[in-house]
Structures are given as C-alpha cells and as structure tokens.
Amino acid sequence: MSKLTTSVLITLLLACCSLFMMACKDKVCKVCSGKGKHVCEQCEGARVLKCTICSGEGYTICNRCAGTGKTTTENYEYVSVKGKLTSKMVRKSLNCPNCKHTGKLICVECAGQKHKKCTTCDSVGALICNECMGTGVIKFSLKLDYKK
Ligand SMILES: [Zn+2]
Ligand SMILES: [Zn+2]
Ligand SMILES: [Zn+2]
Ligand SMILES: [Zn+2]
C-alpha cells in the first residue's frame, strides 16, 4: 500500500467521522424553527374565532319581526256600522315578544360574545409541534437514519 493511498484513506475516514458526528447532533426542528409550537392556523394566534352565525355582531336579526321590533296582528272584528254588524279587519301593532321590541336577538352561537373559543388550539393560540413534540429539537436517532 502506497503512502498516498494511506493518506487518502485516513482523510476519507476522518471525513466520515465528522459527518457521523454531525448526524449524531440534535437538530433544530425545521417545522417550528426550534420554538416547539406553531401559531394556530385556525385563529392565527388570536385564541378566538369570529362567530360565523352573527358575523361577529353578537346578535342576529329577529326573524319574527324582521328586525323592526314590531309585529302586526290582523284580526277580524265585528263592528256596528249604521246599526249593522260587519266584519272588519283590524290591524294592531304590537311590540315583538320574540325580541322584546329590540329587533335583535342575542346570538345563540356565541351568546353575544361576538367570538367563539378556538377549538383547534383550545384557546391557547398555538399548537404543540408534532414533529419535535414541543421540544424544538429533533433528537438524533439511529433507527430513523437507517430507515432513510
Ligand atoms: Zn386557534
Ligand atoms: Zn322581533
Ligand atoms: Zn354569534
Ligand atoms: Zn418542531
């Protein structure tokens, strides 16, 4: 074996060694940039979601009075006109009992809060990174490397 071959072999061996050492190190999780968690995509970190039922208004328009707060009732009543009983339609305006004259109903979905808890992140605003299990680092594992 020539001197040159030996030195080439040693260099290769050293290169392999340093590569192995590098591979053995824990790596910063690329998925979460080492933070261990993501900002919740559903609420974008706001922890709450705008209520879709009331569009974030906190109330819905009363469907009974179409938001006017009044309902009209139509009743036929017998009235005496020139001594004769005739039926006549009588319209009465009433305060809407459904919305108590306000024309609005408190949103049943968000109870007037205008927003709902984010169920995706349980109102934390962030999600634990699945890739690194919230540690921010990927632990070196021989098994994993063998599979690749
Ligand atoms: Zn969320
Ligand atoms: Zn009403
Ligand atoms: Zn609502
Ligand atoms: Zn991660």
Distance 107 CA to ligand 3 centre (A): 5
- Other beta carbons within 10 angstroms of residue 116's beta carbon come to 18
Distance 71 CA to ligand 2 centre (A): 7
Per-residue pLDDT of 76-115, as tens digits, reads 988 888 888 888 888 999 999 999 999 999 999 999 999 9
Distance 26 CA to ligand 1 centre (A): 29
CB 120 within 8 A of CB 41: yes
Count how many Cα atoms sit within 13 Å of the Cα of residue 72 in the half-sphere of its side chain. 6
CB 65 within 8 A of CB 88: no
* Domain residue ranges of the chain, discontinuous segments joined by +: 53-117
Per-residue pLDDT of 4-25, as tens digits, reads 788 888 888 787 667 766 666 7
DSSP 102: S
